[in-house]
Amino acid sequence: MELYFIIGMLLGLMAVLVTNTFRPALAFVGVVVVFLFAGLIKAEDLLACYANETLITLILLLQVSSVVEKSYFIPLLSRHVFTRGSQRKTLLKLSAVSLLLSSHLNNTAVVAALMGVVRNNRAFPPSKLLIPLSYAAIMGGVMTLIGTSTNLIVDSFAIKAGLPGLGFYDFAYVGLPLAFVGIIYLVVVVPRLLPDHGINQPAQQSRYFLEARVRPGAALAGRSVEAAGLRHMEHLFLAEIVRGDKLISPVTPEEIIEAGDALVFTGAIQQIQELRKFPGLVIQHHTDDLLQTNLEEVVVKHNAPIIGRRVKDAQFRTKFDAVVVAVRRGEEKLSGKIGQIELQPGDNLVLATGKEFRKHENLLRNFIFINPVSPMASFNRRESSWIVGLFLAGIAVAALGWLSLFKVMVLLLVAFLLLRFLALKDLKNTFDINLLLMIGSALGMSQVISEYGLADLIAQGINGLFGGGGAWAALAGVYLTTVIITELVTNNAAAALVFPIALATAEQLGVSPTPFIMVLAYGASASFLTPVGYQTNTMVFGIGKYKFTDYFKSGFFLSLLYGVIVVWLTPYFFPF
């Protein structure tokens, strides 16, 4: 009976994750709390999951990395990746920089630092570069223990299961061949499969979705769209009219405009001033003084607190001293009022900002800035040299095994605080409570899945389906299971759900669990087919103007190559 209950809860969790009904962290917490009250896990065991050393190490690493990411050297590198006249050389350098940086820094932060430069370059179409940037960061993340949070999550599961922790550079044995083959594919093949949306104009000239309202008494009221001059505007197109609860789409030339109508336009945001020639037509919820020169284009982060909220409920003016002028979500057609749009990771927003905008401390928790000017304060060359030097020294100490990674991160955090490279208020802004809740809950769920026999049951299925080919075939089965779940939900969720299954599969075969754990880690990061499986894919979705199918076309053969290399090479370096 308990087994069926657990299966039902996990199926419900998968449904929630796939449909994005709730945030992953809330979904995981909800399930593990139900397990707690159902008596499937003890309170002290659950609390121990949230106090896991590797989990705390990951949180500390994110704090330390937030300092390194502001160093002088990352923008310096980004400015030298473009080789005028050679897209192939540019892709090679961009991929190499992304891969190398992502191997030791959080790869989402690396993509955030580079995507604005790529977006604003005037040499090559960003749509040819941004997906390769994301894919290179993913492959860089699987070269070291700290390259991606997924690796540390898998390490925490292994330690909790009583297995030896993973070595700092254990991932490089397979990660280096992956990187070599992957970069060749990114440089030679992927550009031919990606759309060419042309070289971008300045940021606000991208096509967006915006809204204006007809004031009572406006000259437009009572006139048809054609007569009012809204049919053949030079830069903007009237796509819809929202009248109370009624949506009028498409808009015919004969449609009569009424006072109070919300007119929904698509077009170039830089030409928003074209609406000024229509007296009584005002940008919804905004004052004229906010629409002069202070438009900022941002991307909503994958873990932003505003995700899941409607624009009108996100309190932009209170929290950021800004208002949303326009929204874009890849090439997807948005419909209805801007205020009713539910914010999603990767959404592009144009914000009209006030004087206090850049003073708000929560900007970097919610947004990635893709304008040339960013609120992220960079350190000068001397400060950056100290920061990078201390960080690399700490990594060397951890890699040589002189101190645990946890102790190294504690020492680096204290050093950065004492040297004033990091302030106490910064800790709050970089602390990812969602990650802590999700991983801690996932550890508890993993314990339940193992103790009540569900992991063994699924492992029997995998061995029954693939076991005829021996341990190698079962290894491929675990890898394939992980990749499918990663593409459906997220990398961290996939690692959490599949780990107990991978462990049980190895135990039933009577072989070492290490190769199964490694392919799990590689597979959880193997998200090349959709924009939702991995954070960096989501980040470039909007600014690259991609469609869902662009990821599948460019990533399908890369995913096959990646999988073959992982399943083939892992047992050589980590024998059964």
Q: Cα(282)–Cα(528) distance, rounded to whole angstroms?
A: 42
What helix, strand, coil percent values describe the chain, rounded to 5? 60, 10, 30
* The two structure tokens encoding residue 480: 């394939």
Residue 142: helix, strand or coil by DSSP?
coil
Q: Report helix, strand or coil for 466.
A: helix
Start-end of H helices in 400-470: 405-418, 424-430, 433-451, 454-466
Q: How far is CA 384 from the centre of its chain?
A: 26
pLDDT at site 268 = 59
Q: Cα(298)–Cα(365) distance, rounded to whole angstroms?
A: 12
- Reference 79, options 326, 317, 372; nearest CA is 372
Q: What is the pLDDT of residue 286?
A: 45
Could you tell me which residues come within 8 angstroms of residue 224 by beta carbon, excluding any fewer than 6 positions away?
A: 253, 254, 255, 256, 257
> What are the extents of the domains in the chain?
66-102+109-124+378-430
User: Nearest 10 degrees: CA dihedral of 373, 378, 382, 383?
Assistant: 170
| CA–CA gap between residue 245 and residue 124 (Å, rounded) | 44
**pLDDT digits (tens), the chain, 576 positions:** 788 888 888 888 878 777 767 777 888 888 899 999 988 888 988 888 888 888 888 888 888 888 887 787 777 777 778 777 788 888 998 999 899 988 988 777 788 778 877 877 778 888 899 999 999 999 998 999 988 888 988 988 888 888 888 888 999 999 999 999 999 999 999 989 998 877 765 444 455 667 788 888 888 888 888 888 887 777 677 877 888 878 786 788 888 999 888 887 766 555 666 777 788 888 754 434 444 446 677 888 877 788 888 887 888 878 888 777 778 776 666 665 677 788 888 888 877 777 777 777 677 778 877 754 444 446 888 888 899 899 999 989 988 889 888 999 999 999 999 988 888 777 776 777 777 888 888 888 888 888 888 777 777 777 777 766 778 888 998 999 888 888 777 777 788 888 888 988 888 888 999 999 999 999 998 888 888 767 788 888 877 888 888 999 999 999 999 999 999 999 999 998
Helix (H) or strand (E) holding 63: helix 53-68
Residue 323 dihedral angles phi and psi, to the nearest 5°: -135, 150
**Residue recorded with tokens 């657990």:** 6
Mark 509-525 as b/e (b = at least 16 C-beta within 10 Å). bebebbbbbbbbbbbbb
CB 307 within 8 A of CB 23: yes
What is the number of H-type helices and E-type strands within the chain? 24, 9
| 8 A C-beta contact, residue 97 and residue 77 | yes
Beta-carbon contacts of residue 329 (< 8 Å; ≥ 6 apart): 344, 346, 347, 348, 541, 542
Residue 453 token pair? 């026999």
Q: Is 242 helix (H, G, I), strand (E, B) or coil?
A: strand
Q: How far is it, in rounded angstroms, from Cα 60 to Cα 410? A: 7
Structure tokens at 396: 């060397």
- Tell me how far apart the terminal alpha carbons of the chain are, to the nearest angstrom: 35
The two most distant CA atoms of the chain are separated, in Å, by: 81
Check if the beta carbon of residue 63 is closer than 8 Å to that of residue 109.
Answer: no
Burial of 252 (0-12, 13-18, 19+ CB in 10 A): exposed
Question: pTM for this one?
Answer: 0.75
Measured in whole angstroms, the distance separating CA 43 from the mean position of its chain's CA atoms is 32
Q: Which residues contact 307 (CB under 8 A, 6 or more apart)?
A: 23, 300, 343, 344, 345
Rg, the chain, Cα only: 25
> Rounded to whole angstroms, how far apart are CA atoms 320 and 181?
44
Tell me the residue length of the chain. 576
